[in-house]
Structures are given as C-alpha cells and as structure tokens.
Amino acid sequence: MADYDYDLITIGAGSGGVRASRLAGGYGARVAVVEKSRVGGTCVMRGCVPKKFLVYGAHFAEDFEDARAYGWTPGPAEFDWASLIANKNRELDRLEGVYERILRDNHVELIRGEARLADPHTVEIDGRALTADKILISTGSWPSMPNITGIEHVITSNEALDLPSLPKRVVIVGGGYIAVEFAGIFNALGVEVTVVIRGDTILRGFDQDVRETLATEMENKGIVIRRECLVRSIEKANGSYSVLCSDDCLIETDLVMYATGRLPNTRDIGLEGAGVKLDNIGAVVVDEWSQSSVENIYAVGDVTNRSMLTPVAIAEGRAFAETVFNASAIPVRHRNIPSAVFSQPPIGAVGLTEQQARENGPVDVYVSRFRPMKHTLTGREESIMMKLVVNQDSDRVLGCHMVGQDAPEIIQGLAVALTCGVTKAQFDATIGIHPTAAEEFVTMREKRPAAAA
Ligand code: NDP
C-alpha cells in the first residue's frame, strides 16, 4: 500500500462524518476530519437540536393557558426570546465540546479549514496537502432558494435560529419539514404567520391524511396557508417587506423566510476533478456501501441525498466504518425509515403512505381521530389522528402515521415493530397502556370503508 499520511480523511464533521471517523479511529485507523465551520454539523448546530429547543420554548405558550383548566393560576407569563436563544447557544457550545472530545478520545485529528480534493488521494486544506488511503465526503447540505427578485432580503432556517428579535409578522415560503416546524414555533410565540406553498397542501411525500390533518391544525391555530401560490418578487421598504405573489396578492411582512429544500454541498471541493460522479442536483452517487464512482472515495449523509435525516447519516457513517475498517460488511437499508416533523402538533410516521401501499396491492386502512384526554378539560381545539395501513393479503402493517402530541415518541416504538414485519393481528393481540393516546394504535378495529379511501 502506498505511504499515505492517513488511512482516512473525512471532509465534514457533521453527524455522519463524526460517527464514521470516531469508529474508524477506534478501530485503529489513522484518521483526520476536516471541518470549516462548527463540529457537529447541521443537525447539532443549525438544525434538529436548536430547532427542538425552540419547539419546546414555543410550546410553553399553550401550556400556561392549559394550566388554568387544571387549577393553576399562573402569574403573568412573559417571554424573552433573547434568553431562549442564549440558553440554546450555551447548550450548542457544550455539545460542540462533547463532539470534539469524542474525536480526541478516538485519536481522530481535527483539522480546521476548507478542504478540496486535488486528486483521489490528496486533500488540500488552505494550501496544505495531505494524503489518505480512503476519503469520506460528508459535507452535508445547504438551503436552496429560487432566484427571484429580492431573494437577497430573505432568511433561511440558519438565520431563523438566531434572530436578534422576534418579528411581528413572518412569511414562510415552502411547505416541507422546515417550513411547518418554524410556522409552529413563530405562531406559538405570537408572530402572525403566513405560509406560502406552491402545491395544494403542505408536506408532499407524507400520507394524505397526515398532510390534511396538520394543515387544518395549523389553520385552527391561526396560521394562514396560501395554497397554489408562488412568490414573484420581494421588495424592501421602510423596514418591512412586500411579497408579491403569483395570484397578484401583495403580503406586507416584517420577515421572509425561505424553506424550499436543501441541496448537497458538493461545489468547489474538487469532486468532479477527482472523477467522482454527481447526479443532476449535485449529490454524490454512491452504492449500498456508500462507495462513489471512485473506488477509494465514499460519501455519507445529506451529500448523497438518499434521505436527509440525521439518524440515516449516522447509520451510513457507522456502516462505512464497520465495512471498511472493521472487516464486517454492513449495508444500510433505506427502508422503513421513521421520521418526525416537530410541528405543533407534531407528526410521526414510518413505512408506506396509503397511496404508496395501494400501488403494490389491496390494503385495509384504519383511521382514528379523537381529542387528547388532556384537552377534554382545557377545551383546546386540538385533535389526534392515527392511521394504520395494512396489506390485505399478508396482514402486514405497511405504514403507521400519527399527528398529535407525542407522535414522534410513539412512532419510534412502532418503527421497531415494522422492522420486525409486524402484522395487524399482532397489533390487535397487544395489550394497550391505559389511559394513553398510544393505546389507540392497538385498539383500532374498524376498517375505513372503501368508499372513503
Ligand atoms: P423539503 O424538501 O421538506 O420541502 C421543500 C418545500 O419547498 C416543499 O414544500 C416544496 O414544494 C417547496 N419548494 C421547493 N422549491 C420551491 C420553489 N422554487 N418555490 C416554492 N416552493 C418551493 O425541504 P426543507 O427545506 O423543509 O427541509 C430540507 C430537508 O431537511 C428535508 O427534506 C428533511 O429531510 C430535512 N429536515 C428534517 C427534519 C426532521 O426530521 N424533523 C426537520 C427539518 C429538515 P413541493 O412540495 O411542491 O415540491
């Protein structure tokens, strides 16, 4: 073997890159990870983690109101955005330290700087050339926005997590994960929220009942959803913005946020020059072993655009390290990946949507809608929707979907059952935990009539 500086150089210290590097280091490989920004990547520094703190923070608004129905008379509740942001940032600093320590403990060298491939075995970092037997690309993704007049005035989720103060009004463009999560956060904190979507409803790719239920819940909370509407231009005047839409409607607002998807970070890092094949959106094309078109170059996480979810990046990073540095080949199966949307109320889902399942044969559908027990006292207009999609021939449960409090926590457990190939009969044979919302998943007996499907 040629004499390289390292066995592995990882470009990008996010969830996937750190997991792969620290495992490889733990197996005795000589590893360096290069990072130009903060260790922890999108999830920890600009995504899941800070977002979840804002979701928790926002939910207290309803909690204080609801407490009255349970006999509490809370004092006048005051909210201080700056405190929430400062506390959140303190925790992110701590987490960055934890990630750095994990790398150190596994003998992984952290190199700060911007990396570029000079050839398949050479990485240049700010003028310094280092060589490695294997290269792992884990550079993540970045918000993408359409090129319209005034786009320079908008923010993305990156800035939304650190706003100096809360606006009075916000327009959010897009109807995906990020848009609905931030719509919920801003709305709960008293901001007037308008969501502008180009389709007929939010969250394309999710089950239709989930999409419609959440849209209704959001509207019940006062969020305006403007459907089949495209933003044409954005103009700034006197500290506010005028958003001109395709239906000629003009929305005046204090802040415009775009959440129109994310693109893989593959520009200007020398991938194509090194012979690495990219797809039409710039994602690294990989096989089930995360190996690219160049034999010694691998890629994991958002940069491959297989599924832009942190636990998937971590699973891919682990599988890579086990396969390449621990001689135990593990492919990642991208099936039955559970996911959650931390909207208000949240969503949890695993498996196929009803529409996807129907494409493969006849299905039985079970749907339950009810008011959560907590709100029978508070009177709050918030409901829970649960849905099971079952293959008629095999009785296998193909999909579980939920909108409502605790949905992500509940669906995680059901994801285990789906991974084991659970049947509806096994759901029915499971004893519920009473009184919970989750027990409804094991007590659904009435199939939805075919006409309603
Ligand atoms: P998504 O892909 O989820 O949604 C993008 C939204 O923007 C869609 O509603 C899409 O509409 C719309 N859109 C795209 N292009 C345009 C355009 N030119 N004009 C108007 N609307 C447009 O992207 P997000 O940015 O919300 O999130 C990126 C990824 O990050 C997600 O896919 C997810 O994998 C990950 N993520 C996961 C989270 C979680 O697990 N809880 C939280 C946040 C992010 P249409 O549907 O019509 O295409």
Would the CB of 262 count as within 6 Å of ligand 1?
Answer: yes
Alpha carbon dihedral 26, 31, 37, 38, in 10-degree steps, equals: 20
User: What's the pTM value of the predicted model, to 2 decimals?
Assistant: 0.97
List the structure tokens of 416: 């285990």
Distance from Cα 171 to the centre of ligand 1, integer Å: 15
Nearest atom within ligand 1 for CA of residue 197: 21
Cβ-contact 378, 296 below 8 angstroms: no
Residues 6+ apart with CB under 8 A from 359: none
| pLDDT (0 to 100) of residue 74 | 85
The minimum-distance atom of ligand 1 relative to the CA of 310 is 40
What burial letters (b/e) apply to 128-140, b meaning 16+ CB within 10 Å? eebbbbbbbbbbb
Q: Distance, CA 258 to ligand 1 centroid (Å)?
A: 10
188 CA distance to ligand 1 centroid (A)? 21
Query: How confident is the model at residue 2, as a pLDDT?
Result: 73
Instruction: Give the Å distance between the CA of 228 and the centre of ligand 1.
Output: 16
314 contacts 23 by C-beta, under 8 angstroms: no
Provide the β-strand partners of residue 119.
122
Residues in the chain: 453
Cβ-Cβ contacts under 8 Å for 343 (sequence gap 6 or more): 180, 181, 183, 184, 214, 217, 218
Instruction: Name the DSSP letter for residue 283.
Output: P
Amino acid identity, residue 374? K
3-state SS assignment for residue 399:
strand
Residue 157 CA, distance from chain mean position: 12
CA torsion through residues 122, 123, 126, 128, sign: negative
Ordered per-residue pLDDT tens for the chain, 453 residues: 579 999 999 999 999 999 999 999 999 999 999 999 999 999 999 999 999 999 999 999 999 999 999 999 988 899 999 999 999 999 999 999 999 999 999 999 999 999 999 999 999 999 999 999 999 999 999 999 999 999 999 999 999 999 999 999 999 999 999 999 999 999 999 999 999 999 999 999 999 999 999 999 999 999 999 999 999 999 999 889 999 999 999 999 999 999 999 999 999 999 999 999 999 999 999 999 999 999 999 999 999 999 999 999 999 999 999 999 999 999 998 999 999 999 999 999 999 999 999 999 999 999 999 999 999 999 999 999 999 999 999 999 999 999 999 999 999 999 999 999 999 999 999 999 999 999 999 999 999 998 655
C-alpha 75/C-alpha 78 separation (Å) is 9
Round to whole Å and give the CA distance between 357 and 397.
10
Q: Is 312 in the pocket of ligand 1 (CB under 6 A)?
A: no
pLDDT of residue 157: 98
Q: Exposed (0-12), middle (13-18) or buried (19+): which is 421, by Cβ within 10 Å?
A: exposed
**Which of 258, 260, 310, 343 for mutating ligand 1's site (highest number of atoms within 8 Å of CB)?**
260
Separation of CA 259 and ligand 1 centre (Å): 6
**Which pair of tokens denotes residue 95?**
């987490």
Residue with tokens 């491959």: 304
Contact 306, 334 (CB under 8 A): yes
* Per-residue buried b or exposed e for 179-191, using 16+ beta carbons within 10 Å of the residue's own CB: bbbbbbbbbbbeb
Query: ∠ at Cα 374 (372, 375), nearest 5°?
Result: 70
Q: Is the CB of 175 under 6 A from ligand 1?
A: yes
Residue 50: cis peptide before it, omega within 30 degrees of 0: no
- Comparing C-alpha atoms, which of 316, 195, 315, 306 is closest to residue 256? 195
CA 127 to chain centre: 35
Which H or E run includes 15? helix 15-26
Per-residue confidence (pLDDT) for residue 450, from 0 to 100: 82
Within 10 angstroms of residue 112's Cβ, the number of other Cβ atoms is 12
pLDDT of residue 1: 57
Kindly compute the dihedral angle of the four CA atoms of residues 19, 23, 29, 32, in this order, to the nearest 10 degrees: 20
Three-class DSSP category at 52:
helix
Shortest-distance atom of ligand 1 to CA 175? 9
Quick one: which of 335, 327, 344, 282 has its CA closest to 307?
335
- Write the CA distances from 319 to 12, 79, 173, integer angstroms: 17, 44, 36
Q: Is residue 107 flagged as an active site residue?
A: no
The pLDDT of residue 205:
97
Q: Atom of ligand 1 at shortest distance to CA of 260?
A: 7
Handedness of CA 447, 409, 181, 39 (dihedral sign): negative
Q: Judge contact between 153 and 170, C-beta under 8 A.
A: no
Q: Which atom of ligand 1 is nearest to the CA of 342?
A: 41
Instruction: Decide whether any atom of ligand 1 lies within 6 Å of the 205 Cβ.
Output: no
DSSP SS3 for 398: strand
Whether residue 408 is preceded by a cis peptide bond, meaning omega within 30 degrees of 0, is no
Is the C-alpha dihedral spanning 218, 224, 230, 236 positive or negative?
A: negative
Q: Is 55 in the pocket of ligand 1 (CB under 6 A)?
A: no
- Measure CA 415 to chain center: 17
Distance of CA 31 from the midpoint of ligand 1 (Å)? 34
Q: To which residue do tokens 């934890």 refer?
A: 98
